[in-house]
Amino acid sequence: MSTFFDFLLLVIGFSLVIFVHELGHFAVAKWVGIRVEQFAIGMGPALLSWRKGIGFRSGTTAPEYEARLKAGGRAGDFGETEYRLNYLPIGGYVKMLGQEDLDMAAVVNDPRSYSSRPIWARMCVVSAGVVMNIIFALVLFVICFMWGVDTLVPVIGGVSPDSLAAVTMPTNAAEHGIEGPGIRPGDRVISINGKPIRTYEQILLAAAVSKPGQSLRIEVDRAGTRLTFDLAPRADRETRLLALGIASTQSAALLDYKPGSPAERQAQTVFRLAGLEGVTPAPGLRLAQVNGEKIDAVWQLSRAIDRSEGKPLELTFEHPETGAVSRGMLRPDPDFMLSQIEEGGSWYAVRHLLGLVPAPVVIDVDPGRTADWIAPGDVIVGADGAMWLRSDELQRALRPRAKGRVTVLREGRELDFDVPVDRAGRAGFAFTDMPAMAPPIVVDAIDSFPLRGVADGSGSERPAPSPAPRLMPGSRIASIGGREVATWREVFLALRGALDPDSPRTDIEISCELPVPGRPVEPLTWSIDQDAARTVLALEWHSQLSVTIFQPLTETQRADNPIAAISMGLERTWEMIITTYQTLDRLVRGSIKVDQLKGPVGIAELGTRVAGQGLPYLLLFLGVINVNLAVLNFLPIPIVDGGLMVFLIIEKIKGSPVSVQVQNAATAVGLLLIGSLFLVTFYNDVLNLITNLAS
């Protein structure tokens, strides 16, 4: 019921946006003396209409109006404009005498017709809708900032280890005595290219609409020290938008989820994977201390994990209502290396440890599965007869179909299960490509991977031959340097302990259990050069305590007085205008794809979720929609206001209107462009909606 109410609020808001746009055309048309025949919200036949002298009618008042005039009624007794609400709640229009968007040959010899008015008057009418949308957006932003809206703080919560943000040195590092590279959790972004940053959303936008290959000058505050980084955003593997490889920070409180919800199950799974089996997650449960030190945000936990050297951390949680305290030991897990490999003309991301690729491991299964099905901790041996697959290969093997066959390894036994796979390729279980606590079973060894110059923080990528020994797929590492290992975590620790960063080459004796009858153990020598050794020693630690189970860390953007609210509103309006034009430019350049745009269904779905957050957020969303509508409406495309303005400019220059044939051809092209974009975005919206519902 609440979702329906939110959707209803959104429809009312969209109708108001359209009303304001058309009101601009209407008011200025009246002002310059053009006769307005219809003022309509929506498209198609009239659902309800009103005309002065006639009143409200179901359908249109036009037949009754004409009949009364023929019966001798005076025109002055009736309104010349019909105000109507049409059946289709999409768009709206103002119908003026002598103006037919789809019939350029239509001419009315009347001094009050659109075509009879001077060019300046018609320009005013055409541009009035866009101007009204900009003014309305400003008003909405001012209301929002007077009210106050919560926004994500521009504080870094995490940095992807394979991003330039992790390995680039500050440009002023020497000045401040900074020796280590990279943006770090807890850094607060102050500005990008000199523009002040107040919210994390501004960081995302700045990266997404940046020019491909062009660096951004990013200034951060690190405990009172101002550092600057020059970073070129790269395409994110999931969103495919340009991004910096950073993540926002979360508060120290868990999400307020409902009992039995997917969010509760996720929290329980995350606590189990992180080793916090002695702590029961609860809505709003707050992480209060790490090793006795108070924290306010998850980035402080991330910093403690980075400094842990893999040693367990004691976490103290406080219940939000009772104040009860519970403690548990968090297990830091090692980061694996991440490389892109090419197969069959496509590129895939592969996690590995100096070229050795771990077997994927099940970490969760869908609720409702029976106990005799696939279980967390199972090592995935293969799918449909293909054995020892990498995680990316397994994902491709689980292609949409009615049922597949998956083989897993559990307590030394291989088990086969029939697995239903849905349209999105989901198979009823989740697996990881960083199985820190799983048996160290190797499924592949990649030939080469880049060493990122971690020692000097240059950020340059230098492909290097893989030092990984050639193991039979399915082999299990049994020992490293004479130290027995039972998990990938132990492999990581043993490897770090055996490596010498100052030696040109380190030879490490290892033994591997082969996947053949009798499980013989084969001794090998693993030769690792200095650059590879330093790369491993520079790898950091992470935790399975996912930030997604915590509430976002926000701060309220609120103006102190009306003048400040107007200033903030003007700034946000201008920012949205520039961002919209930049988005269109990047769409042409190809860094933003058409399938990443939202159409009517996607906007409605997003708007409904925004409306559910509260009225201030809906008003902010409608402000953005106003700006987008204004910019798109004033593009030089026939059939929209910008195209009409181009025709008027040409008419002013040449002294006569553009020929009817040219206008009709241009209109057809405009309709084709807009119609094609509508169909493509509508298709993508529906496909994404179905996928989200299925998940």
Which tens digit of pLDDT belongs to each residue from 203-215? 988 888 888 888 9
Residue with token string 């509430």:
551
Determine the Cα–Cα distance for residues 478 and 493; give it in Å rounded to an integer. Answer: 14
Compute, in degrees rounded to 10, the torsion defined by CA atoms 545, 551, 553, 556. 180
415-433 as b/e, with b when 16 or more CB fall inside 10 Å? bebebebeeeebbbbebbb
247 and 166 in contact (C-beta within 8 Å)?
A: no
CA distances from 410 to 16, 372, 375, 490 (A): 60, 12, 9, 20
Do the strands 505-513 and 475-480 form a parallel or antiparallel pair, or are they unpaired? antiparallel
- Which residues, 6 or more positions from 638, have their beta carbon under 8 angstroms from its beta carbon? 644, 647, 663, 666, 667, 669, 670, 671
Determine the Cα–Cα distance for residues 231 and 242; give it in Å rounded to an integer. Answer: 12
Determine the Cα–Cα distance for residues 353 and 465; give it in Å rounded to an integer. Answer: 13
pLDDT of 187: 92
Determine the Cα–Cα distance for residues 212 and 583; give it in Å rounded to an integer. Answer: 12
Compute, in degrees rounded to 10, the torsion defined by CA atoms 381, 385, 391, 392. 170
589 and 212 in contact (C-beta within 8 Å)?
A: yes
99 and 112 in contact (C-beta within 8 Å)?
A: no
At 443, list the tokens.
């499924």
Rounded to the nearest angstrom, the gap between the alpha carbon of residue 253 and the centroid of all alpha carbons in its chain is 23
403 and 420 in contact (C-beta within 8 Å)?
A: yes
CA distances from 55 to 45, 84, 110 (A): 18, 11, 27
Three-state DSSP class for residue 621? helix
pTM confidence score:
0.71
Residue with token string 């609860």:
282
556 and 491 in contact (C-beta within 8 Å)?
A: no
Three-state DSSP class for residue 343? strand
CA distances from 302 to 330, 338, 497 (A): 12, 20, 23
pLDDT of 601: 61
Do the strands 216-222 and 225-231 form a parallel or antiparallel pair, or are they unpaired? antiparallel
Rounded (10°) angle between helices 119-147 and 2-31: 140
Which amino acid is present at 515? Answer: P
Determine the Cα–Cα distance for residues 613 and 141; give it in Å rounded to an integer. Answer: 16
Determine the Cα–Cα distance for residues 695 and 690; give it in Å rounded to an integer. Answer: 9
Residue 114, strand partner residues: none
94 and 38 in contact (C-beta within 8 Å)?
A: yes
Which amino acid is present at 586? Answer: R
Rounded (10°) angle between helices 119-147 and 641-654: 150
> Which residues in the chain land under pLDDT 70?
1-2, 100-108, 368-371, 400-402, 422-425, 448-466, 581, 584-586, 588-607, 611-612, 677-678, 680-695
pLDDT of 509: 92
Which amino acid is present at 217? Answer: R
At 273, list the tokens.
């994977």
Nearest to 293 by CA among 308, 276, 271: 308
CA distances from 238 to 83, 241, 349, 360 (A): 47, 8, 11, 19
Determine the Cα–Cα distance for residues 7 and 393; give it in Å rounded to an integer. Answer: 41
Determine the Cα–Cα distance for residues 228 and 183; give it in Å rounded to an integer. Answer: 9
pLDDT of 453: 41
368 Ramachandran zone, left/alpha/beta (phi>0; psi -120 to 50): left
Start-to-end CA distance of the chain, whole Å, equals 21
Residue with token string 């799983």:
438
430 and 362 in contact (C-beta within 8 Å)?
A: yes
252 and 550 in contact (C-beta within 8 Å)?
A: yes
* DSSP code at position 573: H
